[in-house]
Amino acid sequence: MEQEIEHEGEGDEAEAPHEPRVRVSKGSAWLIDPGRRAKWSSEEFVAASAVDIRQVGDPVLHRPAKKPSLSKSELEALAARMFASMVAARGIGIAAPQIGVPLRVIIVDVDGAGIVAIDPRIEWTSVEVEETSEGCLSVRGLYGMLERPIRARIVAVNPAGKRFAFEGEGLGAQCMLHEADHVEGVLYVDRLRSREKDLFPVEPDEVPAS
């Protein structure tokens, strides 16, 4: 998912740090700790590891991904490549299919609370929804207006195969659900009421949202 864009009302107040809008609620999550973040986002690592993001129309984005059967070291390498690609594209979330890997692995990185989730499953969403703008690294140059639940909970597993749960609200929930959709082969544009009426070009002076 792309970063928030300026037309959403970002200004001086929006620049104030947020309390994390994503948090682990149960179990031991695979966190992007300061060491991983420093390494995976360094200029040298990003230059060497980032790959192009697959764009809408690529078959890998439009079919359900498979549960991974990888070693811990292979999962770590995949997550590192995903994170570097997300950083290069200025995102706040990414799914493995977006780098051409048809596996159920996502990264959610909102407010610096980075989580890598294997085989994510949506456990709960709030009845209350909010219409908001949404962008995607795989739908470059456009953003859409759609409704998302304002709170959500996802269950997933860590590299040791242990289950954990994490929750989000606001942008956190939006990003979680956006990335969980990706591993089901669903893009946010598939959820729009009308691509003609609810999809808009990003203006040149606006910062892309992911």
Residue 67 and residue 113: Cα distance in Å, rounded?
Answer: 24
Query: What count of other Cβ atoms lies within 10 Å of the Cβ of residue 195?
Result: 11
Distance (Å, whole) CA 34 – CA 183: 26
Residue 171, token pair as written in the block: 């942008």
Residue whose pair of structure tokens reads 């995102």 in the numeric block:
91
Q: Would you call 179 a catalytic residue per the annotation?
A: yes
Q: 3-state class of 139 per DSSP?
A: coil
The catalytic position among 43, 179, 184, 196 is: 179
Cα 197 to chain centroid distance, Å, stands at: 25
3-state SS class at 47: helix
Residue 201 tokens read as: 């070009």
**Burial group, residue 21, by CB count within 10 angstroms (0-12, 13-18, 19+):** buried
Catalytic residue annotation: 179
